[in-house]
Amino acid sequence: MFPTAFGTHLATLEEGRPPECVPPASLEASSLKKSSWGALFTGIVGGTLVAVYAVATPFITPALRRICLPFVPATTKQIENVVKMLQCRSGPLVDIGSGDGRIVIAAAKEGFTAVGYELNPWLVWYSRYRAWREGVQASARFYISDLWKVTFSQYSNVVIFGVPQMMAPLEEKLELELQDDARVIACRFPFPHWTPAQVTGEGIDTVWAYDARTFRGGGGRP
């Protein structure tokens, strides 16, 4: 009798025992949903950071160099003044730090074979697109390069939108590399030692034109 009664009592206890710690289906689904949202959020944040890094790096890197040449778009009047200084000129043209390509494209429309050198790849790609859109892609070319690593001896016309701290060392570089028939056009800031052959415009739209024969023949640095 005892074993039977004990077994019956044990069975009764087992039937009344709460189930083992198995989470309800709704709790599992909620946990899975939270995990999915967490992974999605992490992916979005990570992707955003990568995108910001990819876009910002080309703009930030030049600023970390010894001499920074920031991108400041040329005004319509500046472009007009540059074109004015190119009247009656011929030969290939280069824009040093070509930015979004507007000077190169304007020169190409005037019949020049024009090249732009720019350190920021995003601006170079955009310049190529603009040249294609304007129909001058055959005569307007753009390259990703540091201006200090480029030789300018093959160009008859040089345009530069510089900053004061770079103008003196650029003077030395161009004096060594340019041919005697070359013309250098400076926008916004003049060269510190050269005597300009022509000046046009006023304020930020001022443009200075320098002829190589002049700054090599006594009109250059003292």
For the stretch 179-202, pLDDT in tens is 999 999 999 899 999 999 999 999
Kindly report the pTM of this predicted structure: 0.69
Cα–Cα distance measured from residue 170 to residue 182, given in angstroms and rounded to the nearest whole number: 15
- The size of the chain, in residues, is 222
Nearest in space to 69 (alpha carbons), one of 57, 81, 61: 61
Cα–Cα distance measured from residue 97 to residue 117, given in angstroms and rounded to the nearest whole number: 5
Which range of residues forms the domain containing residue 187?
76-218
10-49: pLDDT as tens digits = 444 444 555 555 555 555 556 555 556 655 655 564 455 3
Number of folded domains that form the chain: 1
With respect to residue 109, please indicate whether it lies within any of the assigned structural domains.
yes
- Quote the tokens at residue 176: 């060594």
Looking at the DSSP bridge assignments, the partners of residue 99 are none
With respect to residue 150, please indicate whether it lies within any of the assigned structural domains.
yes
With respect to residue 6, please indicate whether it lies within any of the assigned structural domains.
no
CB-CB contact of 62 with 118 (8 Å): no
With respect to residue 5, please indicate whether it lies within any of the assigned structural domains.
no
Looking at the DSSP bridge assignments, the partners of residue 161 are 187
- Quote the tokens at residue 165: 């701290």
With respect to residue 86, please indicate whether it lies within any of the assigned structural domains.
yes
